[in-house]
Amino acid sequence: MLSTIWNTVLFYPFLNLMIILYNFLGENLGFAILGIAVIARILMIPLVKRQTEMTKKMASLKPQMDELQKKYANNKEKLSQEQVKLYKKVGYNPLGCIGTFIPQLIILSVLIAVIRAVTSSSLDGLYPWVKELTGIVEGASINTKFLFWELTSSYKEVAAEFGNFSMKSLPYIGLSLLVGVTQYFTSVFTQKMQNLSAPAKKVEKGGSQTEELQAKMQKSTILLLPLMTVFFTISMPAALGWYWMIQSLLLVVQYLSLDFDKAKKGVQNLWDILVKKNEK
């Protein structure tokens, strides 16, 4: 039952879309994956837009939050209760970010299955009209070479065969590191955009538990997420590393397109911080 739903709703549509893109983009799997990433980001626009609107609403509550912190500085329990009331006022959900994370996770899972099917020429889920349109049928050989990579191979596999620092292995570890670096700068960019009027200030001791926890989580995420990304992509096929990197870059583009003024201030914030660091 679950496998039928998975195939009908997710796997088969993505498989057919991948084959169509592959066929019309010069039989290039790398470009087809790029196309999937662009389409996925377009589909995510409503969720990302909702998240950015919620960020604006939360920013508008800052004066009230500051007042509460002064008023209940010695009563943390009451402070938390009043903060929750403010959150409810604007409909803020602390778990709202999951709304954009879960679809991405689902798409990544489907993409893994589709890439495995495509590279093993297991195309029995193709729709008849797609076969007619592309001329690609079950058992057809798919070109999996793209730039420096065999998209079905991972650094772990190549290193095991040719050595950790061989000329064959370097492009794959390079891709994993590039994905991590891209993820890091994307995380920094998106988080700095949360404070638009000035660079983020340090959370002082004795501030609200919510703010302290948020600050710690942000610092941890900025470093931890890129490291996890590098770790995972080392053992993943290069196709997924390529997809992950494109997704990170497209997230920045998406922010720019949804709210240019906000993004401009975010870039200025980040630039000011980098300038100050270089002056020290």
Q: How far apart are CA 25 and CA 223, in angstroms?
A: 36
Contact 234, 156 (CB under 8 A): yes
Q: How far apart are CA 15 and CA 240, in angstroms?
A: 15
Q: What pLDDT was estimated at residue 270?
A: 59
What is the residue-level pLDDT of the chain in tens, covering all 280 positions? 777 888 888 889 998 999 999 999 988 989 999 999 888 888 877 777 777 677 666 666 677 777 777 777 777 777 777 777 777 766 666 555 555 667 777 887 888 888 888 877 778 888 899 888 888 887 778 888 888 888 888 888 888 888 888 888 899 999 999 999 998 888 777 766 655 444 444 444 444 455 555 556 666 667 787 888 888 888 888 888 898 899 888 887 877 776 656 556 656 665 666 666 666 5
Q: What pLDDT was estimated at residue 92?
A: 65
Q: What pLDDT was estimated at residue 59?
A: 67
Q: What pLDDT was estimated at residue 235?
A: 86
Distances (CA, A) of 197 to 49, 65, 210: 20, 17, 21
Does the pTM surpass 0.75? The reply is no
Handedness of CA 229, 234, 235, 241 (dihedral sign): positive
Q: What pLDDT was estimated at residue 275?
A: 63
Q: How far apart are CA 30 and CA 27, in angstroms?
A: 9
Q: How far apart are CA 57 and CA 134, in angstroms?
A: 48
Q: How far apart are CA 209 and CA 76, in angstroms?
A: 8
